[in-house]
Structure formats: structure tokens, C-alpha cells
């Protein structure tokens, strides 16, 4: 793409226009260097109008080097008969400041980094993970009982650790001491009360009737093992369970959501969350879905589609924490958790979970299948319509022609049956004359 075409695209995360040389130029160059690089056009207003720049390039290069300590590529292009200076900044391997302050790009804006941003930024640039840093806690802040229980859980994967070893030796072998000091990972995993040091290290769970009506609200502290167990207990108190009987005495619990998938999602949120962010892990339970959010987006090397693969590269934000959960047998292999959640939901007849980035964090959305045979019969559906619902649950969609073929009915009958399913809020029309299932929430909204 040539320079004129770049200008036509307008300002973005990697393109900025500046009419004159001033402090905002240096702030933007700092932000480019600290984010993903970018190109600054000097002599163009922010609406893309060309004014030109008459300054000396050597002086400009020296000023950038003096103020920022970087050497970007600088050249001149003639646009509309006027000279425009182009400054191409690469992503820096070290933090770049201007007048003692650090900047980053957020969309087409240059913003100053806050304390949490800086802490996270310096960790990323140094290659050191937050969970491996020494905390201000001491061995006295750790719960020996939890450590002993962990060693017992991990006996198959950690045969070289003796259950009778002293706590300091166990932590040292796990890599949870740094120069004899308790690391952040050790505090969160085994602390008596980690929230004394990191108040954000909590799980907040709400039971919602609708987006603004809260039925129940719980805040869970303690170490990470406690948080997993307590979060599961709270969720289970708000979701349904039914029983299938096999033989005279055997019964099987059928929960609204597979418990192993819920546990995996909770553990993923605790392992992968950004602990430099002041937010808690948040779980919202609605009638027909559960929303699990943790602060911290996906690493840039991983996209949402990667999470649906059986194996994908594992980029761990907190490798020490993840390693202990692995040793305890609470996770399988790194990089398989999201695929496991998908598999468990599909095996239990639930819709495929949704993964997305939202509000500076990562979301797992689990939907409940309310379309059981009993529920559908209560709505007065005929056998064809019930079978059509199960067909769409498996295939994703159904057309009028498919309906005619599957049930050997006329077009008129198929249209009537499908229209009833739409009227009841069970099916929704999609393009090409096809139909798909609506979620219970969508169904309620369409009838209100």
C-alpha cells in the first residue's frame, strides 16, 4: 500500500496524523514503540488534510533519539505538492518513555499507562511472569494443611516429593520460592488468606433473573483450591439436577451443565487471569446460561478459533500456578482445557460453548439445553416437531425441504409446523429459508 492509500485509511492503532511537531508527537511515538509499532505522518491534520512540514530531518531524528532513545526510519514524501515527513516506528523490545511517562495505543488513541498497565507491561517486556515474583508474604502466611493435601493429590505426578518433607523443601522443589521468599504463586495456591495481600484474587458469583435483577450474590476468597471448590458449590446450588434410574438401585445425576466442564472453566479462569488487574473473576448464572469472565485477554499469538482445537500452543500467563494444578491432577495437559469444555458440553447434548474477549478479559459462555422432550410436549408440539427440534440440536439448522423429506409431509404441512415452532419462540428464521434453535433467553425476549 502506498503512502496516499495509507493516508486515505485514516488514523488507527498503527497510523497517526500530526500537523506540527510538539509533545503529542513524542507521546505517540512512545505509544507505537510500546504497542505494536506504527507510522506517524508529520504535516497532516487529524482529518487527513495535508499542510506539509518544513523542519530539518537531522534535527528531528536527534530530537527523537534524545527524547525517546529510539531510531525510527524517517523519510519525506511529497503529497499534493507539499513535503510530509513519515516516521516509521517498530515495536520495541524495551519500554520507551517520554518525560518519564509511558504510553500505549488503544484503538486510534494514545493513552498514558496506569500503574496496573505499567506493572503488566514491564513483566511482559522482561519475560518474567507475575506468579513467579516474590511476594511480601512469609511461610507463616501459608496453610500447611493445604500443602500436605496437595502433595497427597500429586503423589502420582510428583513421586520425588515425600509427604513428610518440611514445607520449605516442598515449595523449593515446586519452584515456588524465590531467593528463599514466598512467590505470588505460592501465596495464591496455599495462602491462609491471600486477599490480605491481593484483594483482587477473588471469585464473585451472582445469580441473575435478568440482566438487572440479582437473586443471590457471593464473594469467594481463600486460596485457589478453596475458590474452585466453593465456586462449584455455589453454582451447583443454583442449577438443576435430575436423576436417571438404571436397575433397581443405580441412579445417575444429570445436571443442567456437565460439572466437569464447569470445574474446567473455573480453573481456566483462575489459572489464566491477569492478577495485576484489580478486577475479580466474575461468574453470572442466568436461567439458561452461565457467563464466566476473567480479567486478561488472550495472548496475541492465540485466536479464538485455536481454542476449539484439541491441541493448541499453550501460552501461560501464570505457569507456576498452572503447573501446580497439573501436578494435583485438576487439569490434564496444558492447552486442552477449552477443547475439553466443548467436548463435555456436546457429549451432554448442550450447545457448543462460546469463547470471546470482552471488557478487557476473556469469557466462557455455557448455555443450558431446556429443549427436553418433557418440556416440548408441555408446549403441545406434535411428534414431528419434537423430532425436528432434536434434529436441529444435532445438525444446527433445518430447511422446509428437509422437514418435508424427514417426515414425508407436504410443503403446506411443513410450513405450518415450522411456523408454529417460530411462533412459540423455539425456532428462529435464518437466511435461505432455514431455521435454527433459539436460546431460552432469546425465546423469552421474542415473546415479550
Question: pLDDT tens digits for 299-317?
Answer: 877 888 888 887 777 778 8
pLDDT value for 247: 63
Task: Classify domain 373-447 at the CATH topology level.
Answer: Arc Repressor Mutant, subunit A (1.10.10)
Region of 334 please: left (phi>0), alpha (psi -120 to 50) or beta: beta
Report domain extents, the chain: 3-126, 128-369, 373-447
DSSP state, 127? T
Per-residue pLDDT band at 163 (split at 50, 70, 90): confident
Q: Is the pLDDT of residue 248 over 70?
A: no
Residues 234 and 249: their CA atoms lie apart, in Å, by 28
DSSP state, 275? T
- Are 286 and 208 within 8 A, CB to CB? yes
Residues 378 and 153: their CA atoms lie apart, in Å, by 47
pLDDT value for 270: 97
- ∠ at Cα 254 (306, 378), nearest 5°? 105
Q: Is the pLDDT of residue 273 over 80?
A: yes
Q: How far is CA 101 from CA 16, 67, 84, 118, 121, in A?
A: 20, 11, 28, 10, 13
Closest listed residue to residue 231, CA positions, set 296, 293, 176, 148: 293
Q: Count Cα neighbours of 322 within 13 Å in the Cβ-side half-sphere.
A: 19
pLDDT value for 447: 45
Q: Is the pLDDT of residue 443 over 70?
A: no
Cell numbers found for residue 331: 487439569
CATH number of the domain located at residue range(s) 128-369 in this protein: 3.30.565.60
| Domain 3-126 indexed as CATH 3.30.950.30 | yes
* CA 131 and chain centroid, separation: 18
Residues 42 and 77: their CA atoms lie apart, in Å, by 10
Interhelix angle 400-407/411-423, rounded to 10 degrees, is: 120
Taking the CB of residue 154, how many other CB atoms lie within 10 A of it?
21
Question: pLDDT tens digits for 195-247?
Answer: 999 999 999 999 998 888 999 999 999 999 999 999 999 999 999 988 877 66
Cell numbers found for residue 389: 427440534
Residues 320 and 154: their CA atoms lie apart, in Å, by 15
Looking up cell 479464538, which residue turns up? 304
pLDDT value for 254: 86
* CA 304 and chain centroid, separation: 9
Q: Which residue has the higher pLDDT, 81 or 234?
A: 234
pLDDT value for 448: 42
- Are 64 and 26 within 8 A, CB to CB? yes
Per-residue pLDDT band at 375 (split at 50, 70, 90): confident
Q: Which residue has the higher pLDDT, 438 or 356?
A: 356
The edge-to-edge listing of strands for the beta sheet with 15-18 is 15-18, 38-42, 82-89, 73-79
DSSP state, 280? P
Give 404's contacts (C-beta < 8 A, 6+ positions apart).
410, 411, 413, 414
- ∠ at Cα 109 (104, 110), nearest 5°? 35
Amino acid at each position: 500500500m502506498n503512502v496516499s492509500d495509507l493516508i486515505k485509511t485514516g488514523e488507527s492503532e498503527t497510523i497517526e496524523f500530526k500537523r506540527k511537531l510538539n509533545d503529542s508527537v513524542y507521546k505517540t511515538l512512545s505509544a507505537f514503540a510500546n504497542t505494536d509499532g506504527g507510522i506517524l505522518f508529520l504535516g497532516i491534520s487529524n482529518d487527513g488534510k495535508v499542510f506539509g512540514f518544513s523542519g530539518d530531518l537531522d534535527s528531528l531524528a536527534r530530537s527523537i533519539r534524545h527524547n525517546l532513545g529510539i531510531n525510527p526510519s524517517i523519510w519525506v514524501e511529497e503529497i499534493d505538492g507539499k513535503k510530509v515527513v513519515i516516521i516509521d516506528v517498530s515495536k520495541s523490545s524495551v519500554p520507551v518513555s517520554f518525560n518519564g511517562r509511558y504510553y500505549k495505543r488503544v484503538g486510534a488513541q494514545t493513552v498514558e499507562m496506569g500503574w496496573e498497565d505499567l506493572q503488566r507491561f514491564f513483566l511482559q517486556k522482561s519475560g518474567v511472569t507475575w506468579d513467579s515474583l516474590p511476594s511480601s508474604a512469609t511461610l507463616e502466611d501459608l496453610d500447611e494443611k493445604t500443602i500436605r493435601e496437595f502433595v497427597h493429590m500429586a503423589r502420582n505426578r510428583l513421586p520425588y516429593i515425600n509427604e513428610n518433607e518440611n514445607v520449605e523443601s516442598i515449595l523449593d522443589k515446586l519452584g515456588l520460592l524465590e531467593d528463599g521468599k514466598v512467590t505470588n504463586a505460592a501465596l495464591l495456591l496455599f495462602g491462609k488468606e491471600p486477599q490480605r495481600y491481593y484483594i483482587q484474587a477473588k471469585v464473585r458469583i451472582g445469580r441473575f433473573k435478568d440482566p438487572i435483577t440479582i437473586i443471590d450474590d457471593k464473594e469467594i476468597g481463600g486460596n485457589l483450591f478453596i475458590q474452585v471448590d466453593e465456586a462449584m458449590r455455589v453454582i451447583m446450588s443454583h442449577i438443576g439436577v435430575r436423576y436417571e434410574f438404571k436397575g433397581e438401585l443405580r441412579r445417575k445425576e444429570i445436571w443442567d451443565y456437565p460439572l466437569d466442564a464447569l470445574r474446567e472453566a473455573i480453573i481456566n479462569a483462575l489459572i489464566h487471569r491477569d492478577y495485576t488487574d484489580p478486577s475479580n473473576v466474575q461468574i453470572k448464572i442466568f436461567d439458561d446460561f452461565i457467563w464466566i469472565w476473567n480479567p486478561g485477554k488472550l495472548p496475541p499469538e492465540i485466536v479464538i478459533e485455536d481454542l476449539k482445537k484439541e491441541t493448541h500452543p499453550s501460552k501461560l500467563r501464570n505457569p507456576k500456578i498452572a503447573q501446580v494444578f497439573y501436578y494435583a491432577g485438576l487439569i490434564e495437559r496444558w492447552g486442552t482445557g477449552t477443547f475439553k469444555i466443548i467436548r463435555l458440553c456436546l457429549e451432554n447434548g448442550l450447545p457448543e460453548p462460546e469463547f470471546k474477549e470482552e471488557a478487557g478479559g476473556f469469557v466462557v459462555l455455557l448455555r443450558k439445553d431446556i429443549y427436553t422432550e418433557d418440556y416440548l410436549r408441555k408446549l403441545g408440539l406434535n411428534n414431528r416437531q419434537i423430532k425436528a427440534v432434536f434434529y436441529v440440536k444435532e445438525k444446527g439448522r433445518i430447511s422446509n425441504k428437509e422437514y418435508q423429506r424427514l417426515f414425508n409431509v407436504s410443503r403446506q404441512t411443513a410450513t405450518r409446523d415450522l411456523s408454529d415452532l417460530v411462533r412459540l419462540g423455539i425456532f428462529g428464521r435464518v437466511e435461505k429459508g432455514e431455521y435454527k434453535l433459539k436460546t431460552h433467553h432469546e425465546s423469552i425476549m421474542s415473546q415479550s
